């Protein structure tokens, strides 16, 4: 309760409540009652708009009260999303008092369920939920990472949750809540806390240097033997606790797993596909962590990559690989809510500029090179290991992808890996501008065909000077398509492209609402909706001609979408960068460089799905353009995700990739952006 | 009889006949100097919205193939808003309506829709009178 804390002693007076209900009568009555309780009330008749508001201002509210039956979004869906992305207490409310519905609410993580007419007494007590949640979070956080086995359990846990959610939306939901909690715990570790902050738990900012030390330690020990304690010792960083390391390690493992899966899933020349084709999006966490502060020195990256590359997916000592596959699978398709599963996308990431969304797609192809480097500050969806691939090494991914597409020899790939620079800012792209990918040349190390550096200034700024190739960033001109005409989106976050181009049929593509597009879009797509590709950031779009995605995209956008020649797996995860980015300290570019897109989970599948399932949108469009399409706001923002730098996986497909303002206008309320409510996967079906 | 007295009598009557329940009293208590028109706002809103929902319900039930889930959603919405203003009779009819939706009985739904409509308009009429009286009490000439 930041707001509450700020206000101090008078809590719960002034507690910030957001009420979402399409019934104006109820909204008015509730507002009056809440005001009478001396709360700070904001009402919103549309769930989608509410979600945007929340994404824009995560800390602006302490508790949400939401109706169950709403036309533009199912209340349970909103509940899940809020829980996942913002982890705020949500109270459900309805005239429907049937036990099964109430049960559903509880399972989806509602703190409480009020039956209309809501009475004053009930409202007076809602502050308890806020406090309780805070306490629980703190407690969990303190306990988190206390034991190695806890860490071990976590990934498994998470995987299970994913899997379970995938298989059973209803029952899984509570697990996802749990997972959320765990994630929250993990995240808190990474959250950036002011050194002088008075927060109880000191938060570790996983800066690039720190992460590199971590990676070095892990490499030294060997991924199999890397236990937090030893890592801690090796790192020898004063003030770092075993818990911090444990939590970070967990995320890292997830990331690796994801990469591995990508490898497995993609018929990659470099990697023998072993596991399911579906690649689970790498937890953006890893990426985030990596990208947290910016760039990871190439050597660290290379080292990491080597390690990863060196091990076939199976060999990656990642626990629960199967699980991750499971997750992927789960994400891919079954879950209507993509967010949770995050296979790619982890929960909606808020990417500031999803500009880079483009690359996510390729990431799968990349073969999971953990391009840690690639996390641009944005909170590329990394919050939760979003398409890590996408983010991290966009360059890598893209390179990989390109390779794959172009069937380049492995050498190219490995070459690239080492050269990948970690670039801050959501753009996955390595410093290279899109142009760098001339097909003929293959992929140059720093080229990230997929990633199109958004022009956002922030992104540009973050591009390290070391970039070998001319920085793509900021190059407004559409890059020459790498693969058969893939245009990388130079502009700002792309992500949307895939979806938006179709006239917004693509679910979740709407960038506009930027927030709205959570990476889930990707996951949602599994169900046939737009695949991750759609993710706002249109990452890794297939080689379709760019520009398809965005209907409104500016010229630059349309041009720049890069695709990956064949597989368009869009990583929606990549796109969303923000959602939990803050915690990881991801670099957040001002202009919302889109954070990481979760590498399209299933690279293959997306490619395929792109073609299909997109509501109204031709998947093909996505693919091609999305890759690089960064919604062009001129700022290099990923439209796909959320305007203000929050990338929401394309689930929410904002239709306009670029919004006139940097902040992707979350015009959710107008539902103009939401072309197809189903995109969100909500359509009321969980 | 003064407008104020008429108003009081009207409201009392509405309670007595089961048109309103104590939720309405809660609304009345919520009205205070900081929200002087609260009750009339809510009532107006309810009347408008209720009419819209009933129209939607009629439309849904008019289809050759009725989507009962949608009907159910609308009914719940009406139920919610009527509950929120204390419109007891309408709310109870909505509860019945829900049952019939569950049973997917088109006929039953149509019949109940009629009942809802009747009850709603009855209530709305009285609400309108109430609003007029209130205006008078507040010194405004009666509306039409």
Residue numbers of A between 111 and 170 with CB closer than 8 Å to B: 116-120
More confident residue, A616 or A261: A261
In a domain, A184, yes or no: no
Nearest Cβ partner for B42 among A29, A36, A684? A29
Partner-chain contact A28 B49, CB within 8 Å: no
Domain-terminating residue out of A123, A139, A155: A139
Whole-number percent of chain A with pLDDT over 70: 27
Q: Where are the alpha helices (DSSP H) in A168-320?
A: 169-190, 208-221, 228-235, 242-265, 284-292, 298-310
Interface residue A96 vs chain B (CB under 8 A): yes
Chain A interface mutation, best of B77, B79, B99, highest count of A Cβ atoms under 10 Å: B77
Q: Is residue A568 part of a domain?
A: no
Q: Is-contact A492 A638, C-beta < 8 A?
A: yes
Asked whether the predicted pLDDT for residue A364 surpasses 50, the reply is no
Whether residue A20 is contained in a domain is answered as: yes
Nearest to A286 by CA among A264, A270, A262, A267: A262
- The highest-confidence range among A72-86, A104-118, A154-168, by mean pLDDT, is A104-118
Is the pLDDT at B96 greater than 80? The verdict is: yes
pLDDT in tens, A108-140: 888 899 998 888 888 888 888 888 888 887 777
pLDDT in tens, A250-282: 888 877 777 776 666 544 444 444 444 444 444
Tell me the mean pLDDT in the region A54-65. Answer: 87
Look at residue A374 and tell me if it is in a domain: no
Helix axes A148-167, A242-265, angle to 10 degrees: 40
A456 contacts A353 by C-beta, under 8 angstroms:
yes
Could you tell me if residue A426 is inside a domain?
A: no
Instruction: Confirm whether pTM is higher than 0.90.
Output: no
Specify the CATH number for the domain of residue A211: 1.10.10.60
CA dihedral sign of residues B58, B63, B64, B70: negative
Among the partner-chain residues B26, B38, B79, the one whose CB lies closest to the CB of A119 is B26
CA of A120, closest CA in chain B: separation in Å?
Answer: 8
Cα A424 from Cα A374, distance rounded (Å): 6
**pLDDT, tens digit, 9 for 90 and up, residues A410-438:** 444 444 444 444 444 444 344 444 343 34
Q: Nearest-CA residue of chain B relative to A96?
A: B76
Residue of higher predicted confidence among A139 and A33: A33
Q: State how many domains chain B has.
A: 1
One domain, residues A22 and A124: yes
Question: Where in the sequence is the domain holding A82, given as residue range(s)?
Answer: 11-139
| Subunit contact B77:A22, Cβ cutoff 8 A | yes
Kind and range of the H or E run holding A44: strand A40-44
Q: Which residue has the higher pLDDT, A628 or A9?
A: A9
A94 in contact with chain B, both atoms CB, cutoff 8 A: yes
Whether the upstream peptide bond of residue A117 has omega within 30° of 0, thus cis, is: yes
- Residues A38 and A133 placed together within one structural domain of the fold: yes
Query: Chain A residue closest to B47 (CA)?
Result: A25
Confidence category of residue B137, pLDDT binned at 50, 70, 90: confident
CA–CA distance, A273 with A365 (Å, rounded to integer): 11
CA distance A34 to A41: 7
Give how far A263 is from chain B: nearest CA, Å. 43
pLDDT the model gives residue A558: 37
* Residue B3 CB burial class (10 angstroms; 0-12, 13-18, ≥19): middle
Across the interface, do A32 and B35 touch by the CB < 8 Å criterion?
A: yes
- A438-471: pLDDT as tens digits: 444 444 444 444 444 444 444 444 444 444 444 3
Query: CA end-to-end span of chain B, whole Å?
Result: 19
pLDDT in tens, A617-630: 343 443 444 444 44
Per-residue pLDDT tens digits for A627-677: 444 444 444 444 433 444 444 444 444 444 444 444 433 433 444 444 444
pLDDT at residue A265 in the model: 56
Instruction: Kindly indicate the confidence band of residue B142, based on its pLDDT and cuts at 50, 70 and 90.
Output: low
- Do residue B30 and residue A119 have CB atoms under 8 angstroms apart? no
Q: Is the pLDDT of residue B118 over 90?
A: yes
A29 part of a folded domain: yes
Count how many residues are written for chain A: 686
User: Measured between CB atoms, does B35 come within 8 Å of chain A?
Assistant: yes
Identify the CA nearest to A509 among candidates A549, A545, A453, A455. Answer: A549
Q: Which residues contact A607 (CB under 8 A, 6 or more apart)?
A: A531, A533, A542, A566, A567, A568, A569, A623
Task: Tell me the average pLDDT across A169-173.
Answer: 43
Query: What region does A665 belong to: left with phi over 0, alpha with psi -120 to 50, or beta?
Result: beta
User: Mean pLDDT score of chain B, rounded to an integer?
Assistant: 90
Residue A191, in any domain of the structure: no
The domain spanning residue B24 has which CATH number? 1.20.120.160
Helical segments of A381-531, H only: 388-391, 399-406, 410-419, 457-462, 496-500, 520-526
Q: Determine whether the interchain pair B42/A28 forms a contact, defined as Cβ–Cβ distance below 8 Å.
A: yes
B133: closest CA among B125, B121, B141? B141
How much is the CA Rg of chain B, to the nearest whole Å?
16
Query: Could you tell me which residue, B114 or A207, shows the higher pLDDT?
Result: B114
List the single range of A5-19, A145-159, B2-16 with lowest mean pLDDT.
A145-159
Mean pLDDT score, A592-619: 39
pLDDT over 50 (residue A17): yes
Residue B27, token pair as written in the block: 């609304």
- The H or E element spanning position B97 is helix B88-102
* Interface residue B47 vs chain A (CB under 8 A): no
Does A59 contact chain B (CB < 8 Å)? no
Which residues sit opposite A477 in a β-bridge? none
Domain boundary among the residues A234, A263, A292 is at A263
pLDDT of residue B12: 94
Is there a domain that residue B144 lies in? no
Q: Tell whether B142 is covered by a domain.
A: no
For B77, which of A23, A28, A120 is closest by C-beta distance?
A23
Distance from CA of A101 to the nearest CA of B (A): 12
- Whether B143 is in a domain gets the answer no
Confidence at A87, pLDDT banded by 50, 70, 90: confident
SS3 letters for B2-71? CHHHHHHHHHHHHHHCCCECHHHHHHHHHCECCECCHHHHHHHHHHHHHHHHHHHHHHHHHCCCCCHHHH
Nearest residue of chain B to residue A33 (CA atoms) = B30
Search chain B and give the residue with CA nearest A22: B77
Span A75-89, mean pLDDT? 85
CA distance A63 to A656: 30
Is B81's CB within 8 Å of A120's CB?
no
B30 interfacial to chain A (CB closer than 8 Å): yes
The per-residue pLDDT for A2 is 52
B81/A35 CB distance under 8 A:
no
pLDDT at A1: 52
pLDDT of residue A257: 76
CA distance B73 to chain A (A): 6
- Secondary element (H or E) of residue A16: strand A16-20
Interchain CB contact of A306 with B (< 8 Å): no
- Asked if the model's pLDDT at residue B52 lies above 50, the reply is yes
Question: So what's the ipTM on this one?
Answer: 0.92
Element (H, E) at A381: none
Buried b (16+ CB within 10 A) or exposed e, A131-140: bebeeebeeb
Arithmetic mean of pLDDT, B122-140: 90
Residue A214 sits in the same domain as residue A127: no
Structural domain harbouring B56:
3-137
A contact test, residue of B84, B93, B101 with most A CBs within 10 A = B84
- Residues A122, A42 share a domain: yes
B77 class by beta-carbon count within 10 Å (0-12 exposed, 13-18 middle, 19+ buried): buried
Residue A239 has pLDDT above 50, yes or no: yes
Domain boundary among the residues A219, A237, A263 is at A263
User: When comparing pLDDT for A397 and B124, which is higher?
Assistant: B124
Helices (H), A547-674: 555-560, 572-575, 581-584, 603-611, 619-621
Higher pLDDT, A3 or A626: A3
Cα angle B121, B127, B133 (rounded to 5 degrees) comes to 145
Q: Is the dihedral of CA A384, A385, A386, A391 positive or negative?
A: positive
Partners of A69 on chain B (C-beta within 8 Å) are: 73, 76-77
Which residues of chain A are within 8 Å of residue B45 when distances are taken between CB atoms? Answer: 24-25, 28
Q: Are A171 and A367 in contact (CB under 8 A)?
A: no
User: Is-contact A425 A208, C-beta < 8 A?
Assistant: no
Q: How far apart are CA B100 and CA B85, in angstroms?
A: 24
Residues A650, A506 contacting (CB under 8 angstroms):
yes
Total domains in chain A come to 2
Average pLDDT in the A492-506 region? Answer: 39
Average predicted confidence (pLDDT) for chain A: 54
DSSP state of A355: G
User: Residue A641 in 3-state DSSP?
Assistant: coil
Q: How far apart are CA A395 and CA A454, in angstroms?
A: 14
Phi, psi dihedrals of residue A43, rounded to the nearest 5°: -115, 155
Q: What is the DSSP-derived secondary structure letter of residue B140?
A: P
Q: Does residue A105 lie within any of the structural domains?
A: yes
Strand bridging mode A112-115 / A508-510: unpaired
In this prediction, residue A422 carries a pLDDT of 42
B contacts of A20 (beta carbons < 8 Å): none
Q: Which residues of A touch B77 (CB under 8 A)?
A: 22-23, 69, 95
How confident is the model over A303-330, as a mean pLDDT?
44
**B110 part of a folded domain:** yes
For residue A119, list chain B residues with Cβ-Cβ distance below 8 A.
Answer: 26
- Selecting from B30, B77, B91 the residue whose C-beta is nearest the C-beta of A32 gives B30
Q: Which H or E run includes A321?
A: helix A321-329
**What's the CATH number where A80 sits?**
3.40.50.2300
Q: Is the pLDDT of residue A81 over 80?
A: yes
Question: Which candidate from A35, A69, A684 shows the least CB-CB separation from B76?
Answer: A69
Residues of A in contact with B73 (CB under 8 A): 69, 71
Please report the number of interchain residue pairs, chain A to chain B, with beta-carbon separation below 8 angstroms.
Answer: 67
Distance, first Cα to last Cα, chain A = 29
Q: Which residues in chain B are contacts of A28 at CB distance < 8 A? A: 41-42, 45
Two tokens at B16?
């007595």
Q: In A, which residues are within 8 Å of B69 by CB distance?
A: 684
Is the preceding omega at residue A12 within 30 degrees of 0, hence cis?
A: yes
Q: What is the structure's pLDDT at A229?
A: 84
């Amino acid at each position: 309760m930041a707001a509450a804390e700020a206000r101090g002693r008078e809590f719960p007076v002034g507690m910030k409540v957001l009420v979402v209900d399409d019934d104006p009568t109820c909204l008015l009555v509730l507002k009056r009652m809440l005001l009478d309780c001396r709360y700070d009330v904001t009402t919103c008749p549309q769930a989608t708009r509410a979600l945007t508001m929340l994404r824009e201002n995560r800390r602006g509210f302490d508790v949400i009260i939401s109706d169950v039956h709403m036309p533009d979004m199912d209340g349970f869906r909103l509940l899940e999303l809020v829980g996942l992305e913002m982890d705020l207490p949500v109270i459900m409310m309805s005239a429907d008092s049937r036990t099964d519905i109430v049960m559903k609410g509880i399972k989806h993580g509602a703190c409480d369920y009020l039956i209309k007419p809501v009475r004053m007494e009930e409202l007076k007590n809602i502050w308890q939920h806020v406090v309780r949640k805070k306490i629980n979070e703190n407690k969990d956080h303190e306990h988190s990472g206390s034991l190695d086995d806890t860490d071990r359990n976590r990934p498994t846990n998470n995987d299970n949750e994913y899997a379970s959610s995938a298989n059973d939306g209803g029952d899984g939901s509570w697990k996802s809540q749990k997972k959320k909690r765990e994630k929250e715990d993990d995240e808190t570790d990474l959250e950036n806390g002011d050194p002088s902050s008075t927060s109880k738990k000191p938060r570790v900012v996983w800066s690039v240097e720190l992460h590199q030390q971590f990676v070095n330690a892990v490499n030294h020990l060997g991924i199999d033997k890397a236990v937090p304690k030893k890592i801690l010792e090796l790192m020898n960083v004063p003030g770092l606790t075993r818990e911090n390391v444990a939590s970070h390690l967990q995320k890292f493992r997830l990331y690796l797993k994801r990469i591995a899966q990508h490898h497995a899933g993609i018929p990659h020349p470099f990697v023998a596909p072993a596991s399911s084709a579906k690649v689970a999006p790498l937890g953006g966490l890893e990426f985030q962590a990596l990208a947290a502060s910016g760039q990871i020195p190439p050597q660290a990256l290379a080292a990491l990559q080597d390690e990863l590359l060196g091990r076939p997916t199976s060999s990656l000592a990642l626990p629960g690989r199967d699980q991750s596959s499971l997750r992927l699978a789960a994400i891919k398709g079954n879950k209507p809510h993509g967010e949770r599963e995050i296979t790619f996308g982890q929960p909606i990431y808020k990417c500031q500029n999803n500009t880079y969304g483009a690359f996510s797609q390729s990431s799968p192809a990349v073969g999971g090179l953990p391009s840690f480097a690639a996390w641009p500050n944005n909170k590329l969806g990394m919050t939760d290991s979003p398409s890590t691939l996408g983010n991290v090494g966009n360059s890598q991914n893209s390179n990989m992808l390109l390779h794959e597409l172009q069937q380049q020899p492995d050498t190219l790939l490995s070459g690239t890996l080492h050269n990948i620079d970690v670039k801050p800012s959501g753009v996955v792209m390595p410093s290279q501008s899109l142009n760098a990918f001339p097909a003929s040349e293959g992929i140059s190390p720093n080229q990230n065909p997929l990633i199109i550096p958004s022009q956002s200034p922030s992104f540009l700024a973050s591009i390290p000077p070391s970039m070998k190739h001319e920085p793509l960033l900021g190059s407004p001109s559409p890059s020459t398509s790498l693969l058969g005409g893939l245009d990388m989106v130079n502009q700002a976050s792309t992500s949307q492209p895939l979806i938006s181009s179709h006239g917004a049929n693509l679910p979740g593509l709407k960038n506009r609402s930027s927030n709205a597009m959570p990476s889930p879009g990707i996951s949602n797509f599994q169900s046939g909706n737009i695949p991750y590709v759609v993710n706002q950031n249109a990452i890794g779009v297939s080689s379709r001609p760019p520009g398809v995605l965005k209907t409104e995209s500016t010229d630059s956008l349309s041009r720049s979408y890069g695709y990956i020649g064949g597989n368009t797996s869009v990583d929606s995860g990549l796109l969303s960068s923000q959602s939990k980015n803050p915690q990881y300290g991801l670099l957040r570019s001002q202009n919302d460089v889109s954070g990481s897109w979760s590498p399209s989970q299933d690279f293959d599948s997306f490619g395929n799905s792109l073609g299909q399932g997109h509501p109204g949108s031709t998947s093909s469009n996505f693919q091609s353009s999305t890759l690089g399409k960064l919604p062009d706001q001129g700022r290099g923002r990923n439209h796909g995700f959320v305007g203000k730098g929050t990338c929401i996986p394309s689930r929410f497909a904002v239709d306009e990739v670029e919004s006139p303002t940097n902040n992707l206008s979350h015009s959710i309320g107008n539902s103009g952006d939401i072309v197809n409510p189903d995109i969100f996967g909500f359509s009321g079906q969980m | 009889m003064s407008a104020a007295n008429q108003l009081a009598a009207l409201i009392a009557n509405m309670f007595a006949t089961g048109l309103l329940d104590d939720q309405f009293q809660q609304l009345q208590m919520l009205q205070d100097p900081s929200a002087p028109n609260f009750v009339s706002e809510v009532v107006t809103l309810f009347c408008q919205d209720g009419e819209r929902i009933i129209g939607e319900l009629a439309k849904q039930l008019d289809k050759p193939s009725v989507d009962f889930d949608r009907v159910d959603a609308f009914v719940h919405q009406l139920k919610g808003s009527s509950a929120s203003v204390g419109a007891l009779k309408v709310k109870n009819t909505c509860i019945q309506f829900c049952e019939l939706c569950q049973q997917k009985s088109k006929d039953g739904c149509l019949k109940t829709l009629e009942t809802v409509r009747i009850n709603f308009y009855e209530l709305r009429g009285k609400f309108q009178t109430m609003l007029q009286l209130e205006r008078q009490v507040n010194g405004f000439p009666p509306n039409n």
